[in-house]
Structure 1
């Protein structure tokens, strides 16, 4: 389980160090930094896929994702005696992301490339430093893998073994140093991060793939857009969680049930509702009903991930469905660590009653996102690797 999430100089997250538990509910006003925190988590996962630099490009490029405020905020700025303004920069430009768990920690530091008139990719960020360490806090003695620009080395007993001297500055060490014999920790952490699951584009609009019949195969993991919903629900039934699925549907829609129909290998769903003489097809379901079924398929997965992240799952749901969704999330937390990003007060309130849940209330001060009521002494222990 992740115990700490650390982000520095990413959008409004000037430096945010969060404690994490079994269920984490990230909430706050519009513009408080919830979406930035979610994107930062996705960027961390992209590093294990080798797509971090490409993902930054999709967000508008490295420069547009950096903290836009001043490097330091003086006491005069805090008291309102002088306007917020920039000063002479002292530190290097760096976007830093990291996390710690009980067994492993990981951090990555991206910066500006060296001027190069021979390349047209002068705006791409370069990975300056990457570290994997044992335990929850970075210490020199705990380092297991260390990438310093193009040099990647791993711990071999009390010595260091160089794995590569030519790691491309745009590639993570996960792409070049995950050797099962010489660097098993790198490989293990890469596979764990690749198994993290994110849901923020579950479609329930009129043209949503989930409303159409689809070729069905065993589907223990729902697709990111929910296209294979019918096959995922049938997989949940056949792999032993059918009773939980039926209970979740009845909890949200009393007296209702879902059946899966197969015609010529194509799976589709039908929903029986109390008082109706025929079932409703997926095309007839409301956006909120379909979205709840999509979330149930994601949360009741027969192959639960170590980390499951939901971004605004309340979208399209009637407020009366949010307590049932909270119970689904609580059940999923028995098998996965869960992070929920939400601004729905009723969902946040329902989850706050769950013993394992902690509410992370974000707010902004002088443009920088911070955790409400967190003092510097209350931050989790964290150390960034130096360049």
Structure 2
């Protein structure tokens, strides 16, 4: 389970180190940084997939996502006036996590080119540093694998094992050297990042693929866009777990869910009281279909190690928020969840306690707010912020 996530230099997240629990509920007003936190976690996961450079490019490049304020805000808070400060460290975006076994920290920076050198990819960010470590904090003594620009090495019981002196700045050590037999710690971190699942609403308009019959194969985890909903539902049904059936019946007055399979195509069917025939996915209301998507994601027979849900209550009728919260609680018994929500009722339904009172609680609310453009966390201070060491280039 993740114990800490750390972000420095991404949008409004000038420097945020968050404690994570079995179920972490992130709340706050519009524009306070909830979406930035969600996106930064996706970027961290993309490091394991070797896609972080492309993901940053799709956001407009590193220059577009970097913290736009001064490096230090002390003067602004004292005087009430914003002004630039002298930079004491390189321009960078840093992302990391710590868990009960391994942790990972990556430092992404602006590209450097030799005089006279030209490239069409001159705006691609570069991976400046990476660290894989054991324990809760990325310290030198806990480092298992480290990478500084083109040089990478692993610390072993017998000494230092040089991995490369010419690692390209766009390639991660997780992609290049994560072989289970040679470097199991790299493989463990890579596989964990690839295993994370992110659900950020679902497309349910009239032309949405989820409304059309789809080729189905066994699907233990719903895809991020939910296109394989029917196959995921059938997988849950055949797992002999009746939690989905009970959730649908409770949410829709005794309705039953099934899957019609013809010539390898899977189509969802919902039979409701008073109806002479079941309704196909194409006929369901947007809210009904969206609830079924969330239910299939949360009741996965093989849940990922981390699920991150972004505003799952959006476009749901208020009567469906409580059943959704019950599904979230059920999922939290089997995996770790982060729920980003606008609904004030969600943390109440989940019985989340404020982070300041989080000791020995599994469900915690993290409320974010803006202070001089910076995202901060209510109730998080020196005594309860997790220890973290960013290191230096």
Same fold (TM over 0.5): yes
User: Is contact 2:109-2:126 (8 Å) kept?
Assistant: yes
Per mean C-alpha deviation after superposition, the further-off stretch among 65-74 and 268-277 is 268-277
Q: SS at 1:240's partner residue?
A: coil
SS at match of 1:234: helix
1:7-49 deviation line (CA, Å, top 9, x unaligned)? 0010000000100000011110000000000000000000011
Paired residues of 1:152 and 1:177 also in contact (CA < 8 A): no
Is residue 283 from structure 1 mapped to residue 282 from structure 2 by the alignment? yes
Equivalent position of 1:61 in the other structure: 61
Runs of 4+ deviating beyond 4 Å: none
Residue 102 (structure 1) aligns with: 100
Return the TM-score normalized by structure 2: 0.94
Gaps of 5+ in 1: none
Q: Which residue of 2 aligns with 1:363?
A: 369
Tell me the secondary structure at the aligned position of residue 48 of structure 1. Answer: helix
Tell me which residue corresponds to 2:357. Answer: none
SS at match of 2:369: strand
Residue 10 of structure 1 corresponds to 10
Q: Distance in 1 between matches of 2:349 and 2:204?
A: 24
Alignment of structure 1 residues 267-282 onto 2, 5 Å: 267-282=266-281
**Residues 159-180 of structure 1: CA deviation (Å, up to 9, x unaligned):** 1100111111111111112133
**2:381 counterpart residue number:** 375
**What SS does the corresponding residue of 2:53 show, helix, strand or coil?**
helix
C-alpha separation between the residues in 1 aligned to 2:383 and 2:95? 21
User: Equivalences for 1:1-387 in 2 at 5 Å?
Assistant: 1-75=1-75, 77-79=76-78, 81=79, 83-116=81-114, 117-120=116-119, 121-241=121-241, 243-352=242-351, 356-387=362-393
Q: Is the 8 A contact 2:201 2:312 kept in 1?
A: no
Specify the SS of the correspondent of 1:6.
strand
**Count of residue pairs brought into register by the alignment:** 384
TM-superposed deviation, 1:251: 2.0
Instruction: For residue 297 of structure 1, report the CA deviation from its aligned partner.
Output: 0.8
State the distance in 2 between where 1:11 and 1:5 align: 16
Question: CA separation in 2, counterparts of 1:53 and 1:264?
Answer: 40
- Pick closer, same or farther for the CA change 1:245–1:58 going to 2, 3 Å: same
**How many angstroms does 1:5 deviate by?**
0.6
Q: Give SS of 1:192's match.
A: helix
CA shift digits 1:55-83 (9 cap, x unpaired): 000001100100000111234x213x352
Any stretches of 5+ residues in structure 2 without a counterpart? 354-360
CA distance in 1, matches of 2:130, 2:234: 42
Q: After superposing the two structures, state which structure 1 stretch, 18-27 or 264-273, moved more.
A: 264-273
Choose 130-139 or 351-360, whichever is displaced more. Answer: 351-360
* In structure 2, C-alpha distance between the alignment counterparts of 1:353 and 1:7, rounded to whole Å: 23
8 Å Cα contact 1:164/1:177 also seen in 2: no
Q: Distance in 1 between matches of 2:181 and 2:391?
A: 25
Tell me the distance in 1 between the aligned counterparts of 2:181 and 2:211.
Answer: 46
Deviation at 1:114, TM superposition (A): 1.8
Please report how far the alpha carbon of residue 352 of structure 1 lies from its aligned counterpart in structure 2 after TM superposition.
2.6
Q: What's the CA shift for 1:113? A: 1.9
